[in-house]
Structure 1
């Protein structure tokens, strides 16, 4: 995907989207009527990816923690395997792992399947890794809609629990450890 001609900005009263359609009414409604309120209430920061004429994509991020408990796994060995994979230290007593959550992510119907979503995920990974110097962030989390899980899988996310009974969303995560020293530059640049 060529990101030339696209700008990334944080939502504010001057940049708020007037129209947007990603094919999901709930996501559209969030962007058009709730995103600015979430920003003002310090609940989420929403970014807009725009060309000269319109918003082509948006995403919201906020701080999170992933609560890991043995009873959330199918077996004690699955729980231990997960913890070994996340923390290499032999004393793995953490129950909460610091994370950044993707609260919303939508790409306009007009440009879907063009690589914009992948570019956004790369940018979010870069943001989390960059801010790791000031405030620890081990994971990126998302409660993925069932129709979006394949997208997140292709971008390296894993299911927290394969036995997740929730049919609407699946809790997924991406471990940031492999990206700390090898993060490629994102083609998306934030404009101030």
Structure 2
């Protein structure tokens, strides 16, 4: 990952309010990667090597603090837990997850399905290929309508 590439990367309007651009342009991204808070991934165009997207992933867990929380979760995932695992699942108070911490697609490549491909890849790797113990995928999202709409399409 080239720091110079990230300084030129923009996934939204460049202003003081764009927290995602600010993070991608800062040393925080490299420090978080270096100290294993998250892992940083870049998506490049093969023909030009230009940066299309940047995303970060981190281990996460969903902890249940009350019986009410557990009941809500059980109702929400009812029918998705394998019958032979149901007894163990019902005894869990914490569930391993992977967190999509940051996801930005370059301005010039937005609305082309790149974010969708990244989400599909993450879901497939962590729920189908058993890359690690992962029962859920969580998201830290900027609170704006465009981002919220994107993740709601994926049921986040």
TM-score (norm 1): 0.63
1:26 aligns with 2:19: yes
Q: Which residue is 1:154 aligned to? A: 153
* Higher-strand-fraction structure: 1
| Shift in Å, 1:146 | 2.8
Aligned residues: 143
1:110 aligns with 2:104: no
1:127 aligns with 2:125: yes
1:81 aligns with 2:79: no
Question: Which residue, out of 22, 36, 42, partners 1:42?
Answer: 36
Question: Which residue, out of 46, 50, 55, partners 1:54?
Answer: 50
Q: Which residue is 1:137 aligned to? A: 134
CA RMSD of aligned residues (A): 2.7
Once residues 36 and 120 of structure 1 are traced to their aligned partners in structure 2, the CA distance between those partners, rounded to angstroms, is: 21
The verdict on how the C-alpha distance between 1:131 and 1:71 changes in structure 2, with shifts beyond 3 A counting, is same
SS of 2:119 mapped into structure 1: helix
Once residues 109 and 115 of structure 1 are traced to their aligned partners in structure 2, the CA distance between those partners, rounded to angstroms, is: 13
Once residues 141 and 101 of structure 1 are traced to their aligned partners in structure 2, the CA distance between those partners, rounded to angstroms, is: 5
The verdict on how the C-alpha distance between 1:36 and 1:72 changes in structure 2, with shifts beyond 3 A counting, is farther
The verdict on how the C-alpha distance between 1:141 and 1:72 changes in structure 2, with shifts beyond 3 A counting, is farther
Question: Which residue, out of 65, 77, 92, partners 1:69?
Answer: 65
In the alignment, structure 2 segments of 5+ residues that lack a partner are none
In the alignment, structure 1 segments of 5+ residues that lack a partner are 1-10, 159-192
Is this contact kept in 2: 1:66–1:99, CA < 8 A?
Answer: yes
